Amino acid sequence: MTWVLDLDGVVWLADRGIPGSAEAVARLRSRGERVAVVTNNSSMTVAQYLAKLKSLGVPTDADDLVTSAQVAATLVASRERVMVCAGPGVAEAVSARGAEVVEPLTADRSPTTPQPVDVVIVGWTRAFNYDLLTAAMLAVRRGARLIGTNDDATYPTPDGVLPGGGSLVVAVAYASGVEATVAGKPHQPMVAAVRERVGPVDVMVGDRPSTDGLLARRLGARFALVLSGVTRAEDLPVEPSPDVVAEDLAALVPS
C-alpha cells in the first residue's frame, strides 16, 4: 500500500513534531508500506524539508516529497521571467525549471518600477507586505499570469491557526482583478504531480477536508482525517466525508 501524508497538522505543527507521528510512520514502513509526503506549504527548499523531516524522525527520500512549490513551477515555461512573492522553495523550483527569478523588490527599485514579468507566483512568506502586494499587482495588471502555490486560508501552529498562503494569493488576485491559477491540493496540477511522482495512492492522510479530502477523492484514495491540525472534533461532520477519523497519526496507525 502507498500512504500519502500531509505535513502541517499531521506530522508537525510549525517546528514541533506531533507526538507519535514519527513512530507511526516507522510502523507503516516496517510493514513494507510506502509513505510519501505532500505539502501545500511552499516556503522551504527541498533540502530544508528533508532535513526537517529527518530531524523529527521521519527520514524521507526526495522522490517521496511533493511540494506546492514544485508543482507551481511546472506551470512555468523555461526562460520565462517569474516574479516570486513566496519563500525560497518557490525560487528554487522556478530556477530548476529553467526560468528566471525576478526579485520584486530590491534596494534600488521601488514597488512601482515597471519590470518585464511573464508570471507572478504567490505563496506563503512572512515577508509579504504592502510593497510586495503592489509589485505583484502591477505586474499582473501589465499582463503577467498569476499563480498561487495553494489556496489554504490558514495553516496550523501549536498556538492555533495563522494566515495561510491562500490568504496572500487572494490579496493579489483581488487587487489585480484576476483569478489565480492554483497549483496545490486539491487542484489538478497537484493531482497530476502526485500521480506522476508517487503513482497509485491507497490512503491520503490530512487535517483539512477541503484540500486533503478532495485530493483523496480525485486520486481515488481513502481519506483519513486526523484532528491534530485545523479540523477539530467539534467541526464534524465535514465534506467530503472521511473514510476514517483519528485523533492523530499515532491513533490512526496503532501499534
- Round to whole Å and give the CA distance between 194 and 105: 33
Q: Which amino acid is at 211?
A: T
Q: Which of 6, 118, 151, 248 is catalytic?
A: 6
Catalytic residue among 8, 118, 207, 212: 8
Residue 210: Cβ within 10 Å count: 18
Among 183, 3, 221, CA closest to 213 = 221
Report the candidate in 208, 96, 209 with the shortest Cα–Cα distance to residue 156: 208
| Residue of 130, 149, 127 lying closest to 138 (CA atoms) | 130
Residue 199 Ramachandran class (φ > 0 left, ψ -120 to 50 alpha, else beta):
left
* Cell 479540523, located at residue: 231
Judge whether 118 counts as a catalytic residue: no
What is the three-class DSSP state of 193?
A: helix
**Known active-site residue 6:** yes
d(CA 108, CA 105): 8
Instruction: List the catalytic residues.
Output: 6, 8
